[in-house]
Amino acid sequence: MRVHLRETGSILVKARKNEVLDVLQRVLHGGALVTPDRIEGVGSTYVVRESLDGTRVIHMREDTSAVALATRERETLRRAVESDLFQLQRVFDVKAR
């Protein structure tokens, strides 16, 4: 039996929503803007929300796993989400300088 796994994380960046969407579309080769605030790639989705402090980027990754491996696979997925968000944060930190 296989189970559906999903991990989510978010960061706040000091950039406008349009700028964030442009960067995400470049980073997600083959990613598609499916709504004005959502970009989807293979197994990965980014949702962008404007706020008073900047733009919140919510990242979701999905996969399936055998029940016996679900705990290990979920940890791998969590680390992948953190890594993706860390790299994205670095892009915006460099742009802000």
What distance in Å separates the CA atoms of residue 43 and residue 51, rounded to the nearest whole number?
26
- Report pLDDT digits (tens) over 31-68: 889 999 999 988 889 999 998 999 999 999 998 888 88
Count CB neighbours of 37 within 10 A.
Answer: 16
pLDDT of residue 3: 87
Query: What CATH number matches the domain at 2-96, 3.40.50.300, 3.40.50.2000, 3.30.530.20, 3.40.50.620?
Result: 3.30.530.20
Q: Write the DSSP string, 6-53.
A: EEEEEEEESS-HHHHHHHHHHHSTT-EEEETTEEEETTEEEEEEEETT
